[in-house]
Amino acid sequence: MSTLEVFFCGQIDSVCGQICFKVIIPNQDVDILMLFLVYEHAPHYGISLTADISTKEHELPMNFLSGSGCSYCLEIYGLRKKMASDREFYECQSYGRKVFQDFTKQEYQALHNRTLSFIKTLPGKFHTIDYLYRNKSEMYFASVREYHSGIMKPYTKDHNGDPCSVINGHIDGLFFSTAVDFQTMKPLPESLYGPVRLHIDAITLFTPNFNLYFADFFCHYRVHYVTVVLTPKRSPTDQFCERRLLKLDIRHNPFIYLSETKEDFYEVIVYLSNGLRVEVFYTEAVNISRIIENQQGHFERVPIIGRGESRPTGIPKNGLCKICNL
């Protein structure tokens, strides 16, 4: 019996109680999926769902009364219709199982505390940055110009980082980097995600009309990352984040904040260290054409390293790290 691959497009939300996921079906024919979603430690509580299958990929929403911080088990059976004499029955062709959970606010507080403890061990400092920047392929930015009128639209957060982060698959946004080269104090000279870099004046995106939230702390075996969410006050995403994440003071926090100058202007201050990078998940669309026209940003070509592009589903965190795992 072969296995079914399960890719989550969303996480259970304790408010609306809905989860959406994608099932990748093996080569053999499967007529029906049978799904069971239960509490891992109380398997008699849960729901079941059956779905007819006609394609190899199938997105399925499920409504489920969940509790924040609980662990869940999803079991999926691929069934194939059989006939024997005058009797019709189903035979199990494949099977998949996945256990998952989401962070509570208390667990986010614990993760935040781990981040602060880690920062105390680093030789870092706060510094003003001029730009938030985003690296992508030529094709990506060409598509934005040609098919979206120069507007860079938010996309659903992938599963990069901690699998228990509640923003995974649940809110839309655009990632921007704050990392700089410590020799020049300018954005890093190379890119992991594409040869075209869009620089945007940091104060264009980072304004007092936004709220800031701590969303993740993780590593991929070398550098540690902090993810913060920057979202307009009183927006639907802001309401979601207020319920589920730790709110940061946008004018004073250990990662990135807005500072008012003596001339009544603002500047963006970031904690900089070779061992830690702060990433900003910005939840609004960005009008690139207007930004370039208003001289609030510019493009630059940079050499790529590694794959030169992001992975579609993201890269899970290093589950063995004793620094960033609860």
Please give the average pLDDT of every successive group of 10 residues along the chain, which has 326 residues.
59 50 68 77 68 62 52 80 84 78 87 97 95 96 95 92 87 96 93 95 97 96 94 96 96 96 90 95 98 97 81 78 92
| Together in a domain, 40 and 167 | no
- Looking at the whole model, is its pTM more than 0.85? no
The number of domains in the chain is: 2
Residues 157 and 48 in one domain: no
Q: Does 180 map to a domain?
A: yes
Question: Where are any strands of DSSP class E within 102-183?
Answer: 125-129, 131-136, 151-152, 155-156, 172-177
Looking at the fold, whether 88 and 229 belong to one and the same domain comes out as no
Looking at residue 93, which CATH number applies to its domain?
A: 2.60.40.1930
Max alpha carbon distance in the chain (Å)? 87
Phi, psi of 115 (to 5 degrees): -65, -45
Which pLDDT does position 103 carry in this prediction? 86
274 and 241 in one domain? yes
Beta-carbon neighbour count of residue 74 at 10 Å?
Answer: 23
> Does residue 312 belong to any structural domain of this protein?
no
Choose one of 69, 101, 133: the last residue of a domain: 101
Q: For residue 322, list its beta bridge partners.
A: none
Amino acid at 71: S
Predicted pLDDT at 78: 84
* Residues paired with 279 in a beta bridge: 177, 227
DSSP assignment of 176-191: EE--B-TTT-SB-SSB
Residue 34's pLDDT is what?
84
Residue 306 covered by a domain = no
Q: What DSSP string runs through 52-102?
A: E--SSEEEEEEE----TT-EEEEEEEEEEEEEETTEEEEEEEEEEEEEEE-
Whether 67 is covered by a domain: the verdict is yes
The verdict on 97 and 109 lying in the same domain is no
From 219, 239, 224, select the one nearest 320 (Cα to Cα). 219
160 and 266 both lie in a single domain:
yes
Does residue 147 share a domain with residue 75? no
Q: Residue 178 phi/psi, 5° resolution?
A: -120, 0
Which domain does 215 fall in, by range? 105-301
Q: How many CB atoms lie within 10 A of CB 165?
A: 25
Residues 112 and 210 reside in one and the same domain: yes
Q: Are residues 269 and 136 in the same domain?
A: yes
20 and 41 together in one domain: yes
52 within a domain of the structure (yes/no): yes
Q: How far apart are CA 56 and CA 37, in angstroms?
A: 21
C-alpha span between 215 and 249 (Å, rounded) = 14
Report d(CA 169, CA 159) in Å as an integer: 7
Judge whether 231 and 237 are in contact, CB under 8 Å. Answer: yes
* Closest CA relative to residue 19, chosen from 87, 73, 94, 82: 73
- Whether 176 is covered by a domain: the verdict is yes
Q: What is the pLDDT of residue 29?
A: 73
| 172-177 and 246-248 strand pairing | unpaired
The SS3 call for residue 39 is strand
Q: How far apart are CA 184 and CA 306, in angstroms?
A: 22
Q: What is the pLDDT of residue 66?
A: 47
Q: What is the CA radius of gyration of the chain?
A: 22
Same domain for 71 and 112, yes or no, is no
Structural domain includes residue 146: yes
Within-domain flag for 307: no
Both 157 and 94 in one domain: the answer is: no
Q: Which residues pair with 212 in a beta bridge?
A: 230, 248
Cα–Cα distance for residue pair 73/75, rounded to 1 Å: 6
d(CA 256, CA 230): 11
